[in-house]
Amino acid sequence: DTGVSQNPRHKITKRGQNVTFRCDPISEHNRLYWYRQTLGQGPEFLTYFQNEAQLEKSRLLSDRFSAERPKGSFSTLEIQRTEQGDSAMYLCASSLDGEQYFGPGTRLTVT
C-alpha cells in the first residue's frame, strides 16, 4: 500500500497525559499537513511542512502542540498535557503540488 498511513488509528488517554501520533506520507510527496476534525466540521488546519521545514502553523495551535518532520519523511504530532477538548480525529495529508491525499486519521479520546 503506497498511500498515507497513520499510527495509531485510535488512542484513548487520560487528561494530562502526553500523546504522539505518527504519519507516513506518500514517499515522493514533499508537502505534509496536519489537520484536526471534529464531528460535523471540516478539517481544521494545524500545521504544514515542505520537506523538513515547518512553514506554517495555525494560531489556534497552542504551545501544547508540536510537530516535527525529521529528514523530510515521516512526521510526528505531539500533544502535551492533553485536555478533553483535544478529543478529535487527527488527519495527516501529503501532496506534491495539487491535491492532498489523506491518511485514515488517528482518533483521540481524552477521558
Partner 1 sequence: GQNIDQPTEMTATEGAIVQINCTYQTSGFNGLFWYQQHAGEAPTFLSYNVLDGLEEKGRFSSFLSRSKGYSYLLLKELQMKDSASYLCAVRALNTGGFKTIFGAGTRLFVKA
Which residues make up the interface to partner 1 (CB under 8 A)?
Answer: 31, 33, 35, 40-45, 48, 50, 55-56, 91, 98-105
How many CB atoms are located within 10 Å of the residue 84 CB? 9
Nearer to partner 1, 19 or 49 (CB): 49
Give the chain's count of helices (H) and strands (E). Answer: 0, 11
Residue 16: CB minimum distance to partner 1, A: 28
Residue 64: CB minimum distance to partner 1, A: 21
Q: What is the rounded distance in angstroms from the CA atom of residue 14 to the CA atom of residue 7?
A: 18
